[in-house]
Amino acid sequence: MGRAPTEPPARPRISETIGVLGAGVWGTALAIVLARLGRRVLLWGSDEARMARLAHERVHTSALPGIRFPDGLEIESDLKRVCQTADGLLLAVPSGAFRTVLRAVGPLCDDQTTLAWATKGLESGSHKRLSEIHAEIRPGRPATVLTGPSFAREVAAGLPTALTVASDDPATAETVASWLRGERLRIYTSDDVIGAEIGGAVKNVLAIAAGISDGLGFGANARAALITRGLAELLRLGIAVGGRSETLMGLSGVGDLALTCTDDLSRNRRVGLALARGRSLGDIIGELGQAVEGVASAREVYALARASHIDMPITEQVYQVLFTGRSPEAAVAALLSRDPKTEASGLTP
């Protein structure tokens, strides 16, 4: 038997200071990696009592048990102090808090501060991409997103992972990529922010669908078909709103889709599994105790698809199950009863 993977050793300290905004599991994992790579890291969260507990315990006990914080990781609950100290900011808050946090950061940080986000999803109620919100609040500044197939627990444990930094400014993309590149973390860059954002939002909805399929016992054949036809939906919507097919066929599209649809570390997939077993959505979310982006994204992706006149039948059925009371069995029946088509039909808008 092979040896269990071990965390990579910490590197010598680098003078650059990075503020990670959002002390959930993903933000904490990214802060751990950044500190392990030798940077001074300020991990911020708005709950002072929780941040005090993290500072005392030096481990995220509930989500990342056993993974100790490196010495270079500092816990902070003063947003102003983080913004005025950090050379760069990485937002890892839930999509529902993105506008609020970004608006709070605006007047606090220097114009030269590099800012990126690792949040996936669309804004609730407006179905705006996060880069659109960023353009409203920080006009003229580069939009930069970190995305790709990644479970926080594996990233924090130092397991090999490949991610993409997409930005409309190549220099900013390279700067943010340089923060995270390491022996076990490979970072690619892209200039397709729209494609990267759509991939990150839609895959969470499709992961719920995959969980429902598996929870109903439909097997590997059905899962493969669902992922493939889900990818067709992702491509249709992504291209319609300005993304590129090569991005959606890369890490931030099909890569993230494959990960979240097939492994139970995905909270979105676990929601689908529980729905198929008759659990209520409220009970499922309460038990998970963490944000599940696919639930909010289902409403917004469905709305965006309708506004863009894009047919997304799997997404529509996930929306119906989550928000209109349709049973998982009825949703599957609706998909299977659709009129037959050629496989290539509708792959692009």
C-alpha 57/C-alpha 215 separation (Å) is: 37
Q: Does an H or E element contain 187, and which?
A: strand 185-190
284 contacts 294 by C-beta, under 8 angstroms: no
Q: Which of 333, 341, 319, 342 is nearest to 272 (CA)?
A: 319
Return all residues near 12 (Cβ < 8 A) that are at least 6 apart: 38
Structural tokens at position 230: 């889900």
Q: Which residues of 175-188 are buried (b: 16+ CB within 10 A; e: fewer)?
A: bbbebbebebbbbe
The residue from 80, 120, 203, 341 that is catalytic is 203
- Range list of H helices, the chain: 25-36, 48-57, 79-85, 95-105, 130-137, 152-156, 170-180, 193-215, 219-240, 245-248, 256-262, 267-276, 281-288, 293-307, 313-323, 328-336
C-alpha 41/C-alpha 148 separation (Å) is: 22
Tell me the three state secondary structure of residue 50: helix
Structural tokens at position 23: 């002390």
Give catalytic status of residue 203 as yes or no: yes
| Residues annotated as catalytic (active site), given as ranges | 203
